[in-house]
Amino acid sequence: MDLIIRGGTLVTADSVMEADILIEDGQIAGLYKPGSPVDSSVPVLEAAGLHVIPGAIDVHVHFREPGLEQKEDFLSGSGAAAVGGITTVCDMPNTLPPIATADLLRTKVDKLQGRSYVDYGLYGVILPDNLEQVDAMLNAGAVALKIFAGPTTGNLGAPSWGALVDVFQAVAKRGGIIALHAEDRETVEYWEQRVKGEGGSTYEDLLASRPAFSEASAIAQATLLSAQTGCRLHVVHLNTKEGVDLIGFAKQQGAPVTTETCPPYLLLTAADYGRIGNRMKVLPYIRHQADQERLWGGLLDGTIDMLSTDHAPHLPEEKARDIWSAPAGAPGVETLLPLMLDQVNKGRLTLSELVRMTSLRPAQAYGLYPRKGAVRMGSDGDFTLVDLKKRYTLRAEEMLSKARQNPFDGVTVTGMPVATVVRGQVVAREGKIVGQPRGEWLRPPEFCA
Ligand SMILES: [Zn+2]
């Protein structure tokens, strides 16, 4: 698609400039001084008074296909992402069935044709009994392979730490990426049983059932394995101060490690549970002020590479259960940019830093750069127009995700995404879908046959 984005302020991870952006056949074809004469046959998207940022890349969503479409499906999830200013997602494999073979991955690719408003990569999963599928899933185009080291939605098992030496070696040989849900299963199983057995029923009891050292010990073991094998490791949804320190240490040692955190960990603490209830029950659980401060520090100094959403929808009736039985997870793709633009307005970070965390670093870490995450000739024309002055109250009932239990329902922010462009197509404007589901499946180039 051809498009001119005219009159906006273009903000990248390292620059701010006034520029008109020409997109031809979906790719960036030129940056021009504002007001330069243009070919009148090319459609124009007016951006006067707005900031134009590279489209956000969210490497951690659960759009629940196949098998859990009552919670979300790719049309609803990707539509929600588009109105939230996200132009690329990577979709997790803990579905029914889990994406644990190359055949299942190919079936999912076929099924998603024409059913996404944004571009997407797809994960495979490593289970205790599918090690022979590692090569095949990478050959089939898995963007990364997920390991659920701790129990979560779907309750998938993981190989033992011993067996993971083989897994890390196999993935390293192929230049693939392991994405790790870092919790220690034995620790969680012991403490859940113990805390429940003692009649625990408060949010602090919930936290005690998954102690912080569970995340820390899983990160310590996995980053050592990454350093030893050279395997690229991405630790998902970092949420403890100990985790930030361990990732920082691994990076100092030169281990090829990246990590992400999510807005709920940056904006909520255990003290909010009384007000928000199970809507803020996400995994790992949101902890305390000291963790939050350390996460902000790590995000700003680059120890934490990127922001993701861990968009994990569940049904309202499921979230209405008691604190133990309510499933963990919350929607996030429609609130990531509004919440973080609000933080930009509050002076917590700059818009360029936000672009680094939501576009540049995810693209680099996931092998999508420079097709994604770059503003240069030939890169995909993915942009989000943001109105930094727009005040808006987030309302779960207005959102496109099927999940109606949003922890930020009713929060008023300043700063909203107002238009989303995927490869030159305007797919969303002012909270509504206006384009077609022409999202493309992305295969990391080094795996292409
Ligand atoms: Zn997740």
pLDDT, tens digit, 9 for 90 and up, residues 257-291: 999 999 999 999 999 999 999 999 999 999 999 99
- Percent helix, percent strand, percent coil in the chain, to nearest 5: 35, 20, 45
Q: What is the mean pLDDT of residues 351-360?
A: 98
Measured CA distances, 312 to 262, 308, 327, 333 (Å):
12, 12, 10, 9
Can you give the pLDDT at residue 408?
Answer: 98
Alpha carbons 97 and 66: distance in angstroms, whole number: 7
Instruction: Determine the distance separating the centroid of ligand 1 and the alpha carbon of 72, expressed in angstroms.
Output: 14
Instruction: Determine the distance separating the centroid of ligand 1 and the alpha carbon of 4, expressed in angstroms.
Output: 36
Residue 449 pLDDT class (50, 70, 90 cuts) = very low
Widest pairwise Cα distance in the chain: 73
Residue 35 has pLDDT above 90, yes or no: no
Instruction: Determine the distance separating the centroid of ligand 1 and the alpha carbon of 368, expressed in angstroms.
Output: 20
Instruction: Determine the distance separating the centroid of ligand 1 and the alpha carbon of 326, expressed in angstroms.
Output: 16
Position 430, amino acid: E
Alpha carbons 39 and 41: distance in angstroms, whole number: 5
Q: What is the mean pLDDT of residues 2-9?
A: 97
Q: Which residue has the higher pLDDT, 330 or 443?
A: 330
Instruction: Determine the distance separating the centroid of ligand 1 and the alpha carbon of 60, expressed in angstroms.
Output: 6
Can you give the pLDDT at residue 155?
Answer: 73
Q: Which residue has the higher pLDDT, 134 or 448?
A: 134
Instruction: Determine the distance separating the centroid of ligand 1 and the alpha carbon of 24, expressed in angstroms.
Output: 35
| pLDDT tens-digit readout, 170-182 | 999 999 999 999 9
Can you give the pLDDT at residue 403?
Answer: 93
Give the count of alpha carbons within 13 A of 354, CB side only: 30
Instruction: Determine the distance separating the centroid of ligand 1 and the alpha carbon of 165, expressed in angstroms.
Output: 23
Read off the tokens for 73.
Answer: 């499906």
Alpha carbons 76 and 71: distance in angstroms, whole number: 10
Return the SS3 of 83. helix
Instruction: Determine the distance separating the centroid of ligand 1 and the alpha carbon of 122, expressed in angstroms.
Output: 13
Instruction: Determine the distance separating the centroid of ligand 1 and the alpha carbon of 322, expressed in angstroms.
Output: 21
Read off the tokens for 234.
Answer: 């991405």
Instruction: Determine the distance separating the centroid of ligand 1 and the alpha carbon of 181, expressed in angstroms.
Output: 8
Q: Which residues contact 39 (CB under 8 A, 6 or more apart)?
A: none
Residue 445 pLDDT class (50, 70, 90 cuts) = low
| pLDDT tens-digit readout, 102-137 | 999 999 999 999 999 999 999 999 999 999 999 999
Tell whether omega for the bond before 97 is within 30 degrees of 0, i.e. cis: yes
| pLDDT tens-digit readout, 303-318 | 999 999 999 999 999 9
Instruction: Determine the distance separating the centroid of ligand 1 and the alpha carbon of 264, expressed in angstroms.
Output: 13
Residue 43 has pLDDT above 90, yes or no: yes
Q: Please, what is the end-to-end C-alpha distance for the chain in angstroms? A: 27
Read off the tokens for 442.
Answer: 């992305």
Q: What is the mean pLDDT of residues 11-37?
A: 95
| pLDDT tens-digit readout, 162-208 | 999 999 999 999 999 999 999 999 999 999 999 999 999 999 999 99
Alpha helices in 66-184, H assignment, sequence order:
74-83, 102-112, 134-139, 161-173
Instruction: Determine the distance separating the centroid of ligand 1 and the alpha carbon of 114, expressed in angstroms.
Output: 24
Give ∠ CA 47-4-88 in degrees, rounded to 5: 80
Put simply, whether the predicted model's pTM sits higher than 0.85 gets the answer yes
**Which of 242, 235, 314 lies closest to 282, judged by CA?**
314
Instruction: Determine the distance separating the centroid of ligand 1 and the alpha carbon of 417, expressed in angstroms.
Output: 24
Residue 37 has pLDDT above 90, yes or no: no
Read off the tokens for 443.
Answer: 């295969």
Q: What is the mean pLDDT of residues 353-379?
A: 97
| pLDDT tens-digit readout, 46-65 | 999 999 999 999 999 999 99
Q: Which residues contact 13 (CB under 8 A, 6 or more apart)?
A: 352, 353, 355, 356, 359, 360
Q: Which residues contact 273 (CB under 8 A, 6 or more apart)?
A: 203, 280
Give ∠ CA 387-367-352 in degrees, rounded to 5: 30
Can you give the pLDDT at residue 347?
Answer: 98
Give the count of alpha carbons within 13 A of 439, CB side only: 31
Instruction: Determine the distance separating the centroid of ligand 1 and the alpha carbon of 92, expressed in angstroms.
Output: 7
Q: What is the mean pLDDT of residues 92-105?
A: 97
CB 146 within 8 A of CB 125: yes
Residue 219 has pLDDT above 70, yes or no: yes
Instruction: Determine the distance separating the centroid of ligand 1 and the alpha carbon of 31, expressed in angstroms.
Output: 37
For the chain, the average pLDDT equals 95
Q: What is the mean pLDDT of residues 219-231?
A: 97
Read off the tokens for 328.
Answer: 């963990």
Q: Which helix (H) or strand (E) holds 87?
A: strand 86-91
Instruction: Determine the distance separating the centroid of ligand 1 and the alpha carbon of 89, expressed in angstroms.
Output: 13
Read off the tokens for 133.
Answer: 């599928």
Alpha carbons 443 and 366: distance in angstroms, whole number: 10
Instruction: Determine the distance separating the centroid of ligand 1 and the alpha carbon of 61, expressed in angstroms.
Output: 6
Can you give the pLDDT at residue 268?
Answer: 98
Residue 72 has pLDDT above 80, yes or no: yes
Percent of the chain with pLDDT over 70: 98
Instruction: Determine the distance separating the centroid of ligand 1 and the alpha carbon of 110, expressed in angstroms.
Output: 23
Residue 38 has pLDDT above 90, yes or no: no
Residue 448 has pLDDT above 80, yes or no: no
Tell whether omega for the bond before 263 is within 30 degrees of 0, i.e. cis: no
